[in-house]
Each structure stands twice: as structure tokens, then as C-alpha cells.
């Protein structure tokens, strides 16, 4: 069976993706060891000798409908030059080499393009989403109450102030608030 695999990394982890449809029905098995990975499925075997050691207790794997994703926690937070050690002979059971993608540069390109294409309104929405998602329940309550009672013209994070009374409508300077029936 011919199966592709690819990998990408961050400072703290390496993710190996094995493109294997219906892995569960193919009896896949993943053994993660500090220095290597061994994965088998009906008619398939993958052996990888890691470039650097991994923390087995913080590593994991999960099967999806089209792939198996293996997340390896690095013992030392550093960039790996490659997935495998170069001074070891190649494993005997190994799929044919595939073209590796530079996921780090691709992610940087996407981030840069998102920054260039985001207008002020999108950036503001992302900022409010970030504030809301990282806030305490009290701050979320204050934001919801102030925004809804003011018809979207006030956004407060101060629950003590907002909880005392109804929040008044405060349209921007030069604008007029009209209530729609």
C-alpha cells in the first residue's frame, strides 16, 4: 500500500500527517518512542527515527476519515532541521519520498496576506472577539448588556457601572440614532 506522509513543526511540537483513509478499519497502530515512531496498518508500515527526542507522555495521535495525525511534543523547544536524523541508514519499510512543503513559510504568507487584506472593520472585530474570548464572565456580561441596551452604540467592560442602570444610546458625534419599528 502506498501512503503519503508529511510533517510540520512549531517550537514545541512536530505534527506528522499520514494520509490514510479509514485508518480505524485498516487496524492502524501507532507506537511513539522517545527516538522514533512506528506506525502500521493493513499492508503499511512507517518507521521514523526522529531528529531530536520527543516527550512520549505529551505526544498523541488521532485518526480522521482521510488521515492519521500524530502530534509529537519536543523535549527541547527548538527548530528541527529535518524530521529524521541524517546519519542513520534509512528504515527498510518506508514509503517513497514525497515533496516536502515548507509549512512555516506558507503560514507566514497567509498571515501577511490576511494583514494586508484586513480593513479597519475586520481588525476591530478581531480585537473585540479577542477581548471577549479572553474575558471573565463579569466582563462578558457587561459587554453584552451595554451593547444590546445601547443599540450597538456603547461597549463597556465595567460590570459595576453597567449593572446599576439601563445603558443609554450614545451615537457617534454628528450621527443621529433612529429606532426602527
Q: How many domains does the chain have?
A: 2
Task: Please count the other Cβ atoms lying within 10 Å of the Cβ belonging to residue 54.
Answer: 23
Q: Rounded to a whole number, what is the largest CA-CA distance in the chain? A: 76
Of 20-24, 74-78, 91-95, 123-127, the range with the highest mean pLDDT is 74-78
Give the domain extent around 148. 115-162
What digits encode the pLDDT tens for the residues 139-159? Answer: 889 888 888 888 888 888 888
pLDDT at 113 over 80: no
DSSP state letters, 53-67: -EEEEEEEEEE-SS-
Q: CA dihedral defined by 67, 44, 4, 52, rounded to 10 degrees?
A: 90
Mean per-residue pLDDT, 77-104? 69
Both 88 and 16 in a single domain? yes
Question: Is 120 within a domain?
Answer: yes
Rounded distance, CA 146 to CA 131, Å?
A: 15
Report the CATH number at residue 18: 2.60.40.790
pTM for the complete prediction? Answer: 0.48
Question: Is 109 within a domain?
Answer: no
Both 92 and 125 in a single domain? no
pLDDT at 48 over 80: yes
Amino acid at each position: 500500500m502506498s501512503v503519503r506522509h508529511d510533517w510540520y513543526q512549531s517550537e514545541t511540537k512536530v505534527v506528522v500527517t499520514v494520509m490514510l483513509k479509514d485508518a480505524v478499519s485498516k487496524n492502524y497502530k501507532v507506537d511513539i518512542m522517545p527516538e522514533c515512531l512506528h506506525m502500521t496498518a493493513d499492508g503499511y508500515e512507517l518507521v521514523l527515527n526522529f531528529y531530536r527526542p520527543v516527550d512520549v507522555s505529551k505526544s498523541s495521535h488521532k485518526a480522521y476519515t482521510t488521515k492519521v495525525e500524530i502530534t509529537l511534543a519536543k523535549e527541547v523547544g527548538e527548530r528541527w532541521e529535518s524530521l529524521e536524523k541524517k546519519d542513520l541508514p534509512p528504515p527498510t519499510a518506508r514509503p517513497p519520498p514525497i515533496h516536502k512543503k515548507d509549512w512555516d513559510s506558507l503560514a507566514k504568507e497567509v498571515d501577511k496576506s490576511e494583514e494586508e487584506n484586513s480593513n479597519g472593520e475586520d481588525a476591530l472585530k478581531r480585537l473585540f472577539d479577542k477581548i471577549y474570548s479572553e474575558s471573565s464572565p463579569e466582563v462578558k456580561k457587561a459587554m453584552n448588556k451595554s451593547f444590546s441596551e445601547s443599540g450597538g452604540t456603547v461597549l463597556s467592560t465595567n460590570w459595576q457601572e453597567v449593572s446599576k442602570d439601563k445603558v443609554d444610546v450614545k451615537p457617534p458625534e454628528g450621527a443621529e440614532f433612529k429606532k426602527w419599528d
